[in-house]
Amino acid sequence: MWPLDRRRSLLRISRERVERWQPQRGLWLLQDQRQIEAPESAALHAAVASLCAGAAAAYDLVVESAWLPVLLVPCGRSLWSRRQVEPLLRHRLGLLYGDAADPVAQWQLELDHRPGDARCLGYGLSAATHEALSRAALAAACRWSSLQPAWTWGARRFGVRDGWWAWMEQDRALLGCFIRGQVVALNAALPADVPDWTRAAEVEALRCGLAAGPVTVAGWHETERRDRTSAWRAVAPALATQAKAAT
């Protein structure tokens, strides 16, 4: 569903906004944005189609968890194959996001799981969201080169392999722990304004039976400047470390 980023034009899709970014000399330039008036698929389609019409031909989609939920599911000692793990992930997604109008049974799933793993990192793309994005591509005469969860995209940008990692989204924050490149703990529903990340990691570590430690907090950081055409643009590295808190 989401091959590796090839540094094309990028759409960042958050709960209430779609942004079009362009890579340039190691930075990302914010080209344009659209508000999503309501967090539902018709509004998403309208915002994406309007933003991309007449612009680039291909985009990488970086989708936040409001539209692409992420869960870490324990597999125990008996679930080894994708065929066994996928129904458990679908069941967990159904408990959280069940909707008669968009049943989880029709969602597309992506699993990060190898035989014998004690946990499965899974993502779910609802049929309504998938349809909205597909129709938007047709309306704007463009195509999606990849679709990537923002959580994974951010961790790969920073090369996260070990330690506690907090990822800021528009309406929430995700806090997880990596060991040798694998996610071993994840809280995907923290408020965006956590006052003390050190304390938050300590609580998650205690809950999961892990060691606490420094936390890297990252997200999209935007600063403004005037370019040579006197038009306002937001210029930023793809990610900026907002804080590092040590225990």
pLDDT, tens digit, 9 for 90 and up, residues 29-39: 889 999 998 88
Average pLDDT in the chain: 84
Percentage of residues in the chain having pLDDT higher than 70: 86
Distance from C-alpha of 13 to C-alpha of 31, rounded to nearest angstrom: 14
What is the value of pTM for the model shown?
0.84
Of the pLDDT bands very low, low, confident and very high (cuts 50, 70, 90), residue 116 is confident
Kindly report which listed range (53-57, 72-76, 236-240) carries the lowest average pLDDT score. Answer: 236-240
Helix (H) / strand (E) element for 223: namely strand 223-226
Q: Could you tell me which residue, 128 or 101, shows the higher pLDDT?
A: 128
Distance from C-alpha of 160 to C-alpha of 68, rounded to nearest angstrom: 21
Mean pLDDT of 74-79: 81
127-140 and 41-52 are packed helices; what angle lies between their axes, rounded to 10 degrees?
A: 30
Mean pLDDT of 83-91: 90
Signed CA dihedral, 86, 18, 229, 53: sign only: positive
Q: Which residues contact 194 (CB under 8 A, 6 or more apart)?
A: 166, 173, 175, 200
Of the pLDDT bands very low, low, confident and very high (cuts 50, 70, 90), residue 227 is very low
**Are β-strands 173-179 and 182-190 bridged in parallel, bridged antiparallel, or unpaired?**
antiparallel
Amino acid identity for residue 112 in this structure: D
Beta strands in 150-214 (DSSP E): 163-168, 173-179, 182-190
